[in-house]
Structure 1
């Protein structure tokens, strides 16, 4: 099936960036938290953040030094927090059908405010892509029917740039885990390009075919606990 997705890259410049938990406590879901709006209904699960380590940088791309410590209001409390000055934050993420339009995304970022911190929106980049990938319900049903107590399949995704590839893998993982959790089952996904040579060789031998840079391995387990290679 063809899945349509919108990819975004935003670059934010903070005159003063505090260690705000809204950004740094759960970094993998920071974009989801930012895009929540009482005025726009959206399916936040459909938003997959590619940037999993938020690393502020200065104008030459280096990690800036701590500029000082100041009082900062967080959740109604006055706390003391270290801060960076003139710090840039770049975030990449994909939207696989949240209900937010590209204009909605741009409008939310153009508010230029995250919690109590103001920022300048230096870059807003958007691309729309169509990605060929397996239909999730059919893929899950195949895994479920073969699990005794586990099953392993390999899936070949299209050749994509690394950030688009990671978001496609994330989309499959989220959707498959949603279905598996309803039946108290476990899904584990392994990306061939990330595996150690001996791990990849073991999986290739088990499935009797070589992998490529676009191969992912999906394991479903009926038993409790995480499956092992």
Structure 2
């Protein structure tokens, strides 16, 4: 099956960036919170954030020192918070059918305000993607039928740039986990390029075929808790 997604990269410059929990707590969902998009339903994956570690940098690309502390209003309370000055934050994410158009995304970022902090947009990049992946319900049914009590398969995704590849893996993993959770089963996904050599060799031996940079391994377990490799 072919899924369509919109890939976005935004680079923001903050004159003063506080340690606001809206950005720095649960960083993997910071973009979804900014766009005011709720968690995906059981049937749909929407905003998938590729950037999982939000790391501000200065003009030369280095991690900046704390510039000072000041009062900051958070959730109606005045607190003292450390802040950075003149820093940039880059975020990458993909939209798998949230209902927001590219114009909507740009309009929301053009508000140029996150919580009580103003920012300037240095880059707003949009790219439309078409990614070929296995049919997810069919893949899940195959896994479920083979599990006794576990089963392992390998899936070859298209040869993509790393950020596009990560978004495709995230989409596939989230959809499979949504299906598994309905039946109290467990899905674990392993990316071949991220495994240690001995881990990858063990999986290749188990499935009797070599992996590539685009291989992912999917393990379904009918037992409670996460399964181990």
Any residues of structure 2 matched to 1:13-162 within 5 Å, and which? 13-36=13-36, 45-162=45-162
1:178-208 per-residue CA deviation (whole Å, 9 max, x = no partner) reads 0000000000000001111111111111111
Aligned Cα root-mean-square deviation (Å): 1.3
* Cα distance between partner residues in 2 of 1:85 and 1:196: 39
Over 4 Å off, 4+ runs:
none
1:82-120 per-residue CA deviation (whole Å, 9 max, x = no partner) reads 000111000000111111110110000000011111111
Query: Structure 1: 5+ residue runs without aligned partners?
Result: none
Q: TM-score, normalised by structure 2?
A: 0.96
1:55-99 per-residue CA deviation (whole Å, 9 max, x = no partner) reads 001111111111110000000100000000111000000111111
Total equivalences in the alignment: 226
Contact 2:45–2:171, Cα closer than 8 Å, also in 1: no
Query: Structure 2: 5+ residue runs without aligned partners?
Result: none
Any residues of structure 2 matched to 1:168-183 within 5 Å, and which? 168-183=168-183
Contact 2:176–2:187, Cα closer than 8 Å, also in 1: yes
* Cα distance between partner residues in 2 of 1:99 and 1:139: 26
Q: TM-score, normalised by structure 1?
A: 0.96
Q: Please state how far the C-alpha of 1:135 moved relative to its aligned partner.
A: 1.0
